[in-house]
Structure 1
């Protein structure tokens, strides 16, 4: 089958990385084509998988009639059998292609992002999703928590909705972290510096940690980039210049940082299902995360990490201290984080489930048209 992946992002982020891992694992029965912006690093990474002749450029997070027309011609020339869009912007292209060309369409949400919308914008967005769900053969939620939100908002029928959890590549030969071997307790946070990821909360947690326990040897490494990064630098330099917080920039392969870290911190206001948290767990890192959809789908409080409310940073402080002071609990969380990811959240399983959706959609479409 010929499948066109559509994403309006190819910069650093969980969505483009999800598409990349799906493409890596999907199998030889699928011939892949990609529509995305010509951005670093994923344009090049997608090209390496499918070849430049199977790529077509579309704008970054912007709808264009000219791009839609280009996609239609691309679908015809490449004899595309099915279109799979990732995220809200890409979904507009895929559903219009489906309407205009009678092509089967699969759409993955990657989060129902209404947290920053006012009431009018929220109504418009939900109306958009409900309308276009009628033009979509199958809709995929990346976590059960995301699926519950989709059901609660009445976005689509339960018959069309499929839950396929995000998956990560499971590293081999991982030596589970043992904090007692290290003098400094390394906390890692992979973030896009914006309202959703809420990185200022991580800084507040570090500030309170040193207020409560000034003698601790702890450091926080941020990996990522984003529009709010300069403001975070300013806040730290003006208010907390001595805090051991380090910005490592955007990193394509953060394995080096996971391998030397002791725990992972997520401060997001909302998630679909965070790939970075899953990656950390695959490396055996206990996780301390906000109690929001996505995080709570993979972090089981008291089993492989801790959850805390967004407005309770002092709780996160105590959880960090507990991990540092209780070696047996730390080791238990570490082992269970790794085991849970291996058993339930591998990229191979994600790809297999997605492939089965493609087969079901194409089979149904063939029967209906015959």
Structure 2
């Protein structure tokens, strides 16, 4: 197959970008011709570069709504698609999802849109929810198939009548296993807590720091992996509350797997999510999880089995796992069991490529 992966940007590493990278790598390895079209700045993050894959930059495709640039992006992507002539276009992220589906519809090229969390999900500002919901309803009329990465997002789309039931399927996110995933952690009295997420509004690292401040007398060390606009706010909180010896900010890191293999507990305090890859990666590394009960997280984190879902009791949950090594290990083993059963890359890849083939066989994009 000749496949185009279209995404709003590949400038920085995020869940959708990692998904596109890993999917494209396997597709190329299996002999398919893969082109990645991305907007944003004309750079590709080093961790997202692949051999055997063609990268094409869209000058006008940007994340924020800009009617003039969005129209130009439509014509630009349409032109690129006519030149590449793919068998199918796989589209990722909200803005690319709108512009890309219009371009594919106009060229009658089959396409599938993967929603890595809806822009109208609960937790997003109400006015934005309304606007994005209406936009997605319009785009949904042009869609032959939409993939949601969790059942929660599929149900959300159906509840708001964004898509007809026959147009939307769930293919749960899956992540690659690593050689470090099965390694046992070194025994240490200090419990290493890790959070892997960009420092932006949905992730709420400050909420985690506030919870840790209440239990600062316990034996823990917090590691934050990621960069972003709100990082300085968290760093200032650490300084103001004399937590510098208990909190480390690593910024972006090229080997998150190594960090996860050395950790004891994974935490994610998001305000909204789809089904974050970071949680699945932590589960593959046999980590217990504490996470917000938003989006599709509860489909991976089974409360009181492989971790806890936060219910205004974050400090209490942290204390329970910091002070109970046996419980951490039991929940960590359950995380690995759930990962192997439902969230491997191989399972996700097989379902995704089957969807591609079915769309190609069924004909045009109308």
**TM-score, structure 1 length as denominator?**
0.89
Indicate the structure with greater helix content.
1
1:8 is matched with 8
1:359/1:175 CA distance change after superposition, 3 Å? closer
Distance 2:41 2:18 in 1: 13
Q: State yes or no: 1:125 paired with 2:140.
A: no
2:332 is matched with 334
Q: State yes or no: 1:293 paired with 2:295.
A: yes
**How many angstroms does 1:42 deviate by?**
4.3
Distance 2:47 2:79 in 1: 24
Distance 2:128 2:283 in 1: 36
1:208 is matched with 214
8 Å Cα contact 1:189/1:223 also seen in 2: yes
1:239/1:43 CA distance change after superposition, 3 Å? closer
CA deviations over 1:172-197 (Å, ceiling 9, x no partner): 36445457x11211000011112211
1:55 is matched with 56
Q: State yes or no: 1:325 paired with 2:323.
A: yes
Q: Which runs of 5+ in 2 are unaligned?
A: none
Distance 1:101 1:38 in 2: 23
Q: Counterparts of 1:278-317 in structure 2 under 5 Å? A: 278-309=280-311, 312=312, 315-317=313-315
Q: Counterparts of 1:226-265 in structure 2 under 5 Å? A: 226-242=228-244, 244-265=246-267
Range 33-42 or range 152-161, more displaced: 33-42
Distance 2:308 2:40 in 1: 39
1:346/1:28 CA distance change after superposition, 3 Å? same
CA deviations over 1:250-296 (Å, ceiling 9, x no partner): 11331121111001001011110010111011011111111112221
CA deviations over 1:211-230 (Å, ceiling 9, x no partner): xxx1x220110000111111
Q: Which runs of 5+ in 1 are unaligned?
A: none
1:39/1:352 CA distance change after superposition, 3 Å? farther
8 Å Cα contact 2:265/2:328 also seen in 1: no
Range 59-68 or range 351-360, more displaced: 59-68
Distance 2:113 2:362 in 1: 16
2:18 is matched with 17
| Equivalenced residues, count | 358
**TM-score, structure 2 length as denominator?**
0.90
2:357 is matched with 359
Distance 1:2 1:93 in 2: 20
Q: State yes or no: 1:151 paired with 2:153.
A: no
Distance 2:47 2:62 in 1: 17
**How many angstroms does 1:38 deviate by?**
6.4
Distance 1:45 1:242 in 2: 29
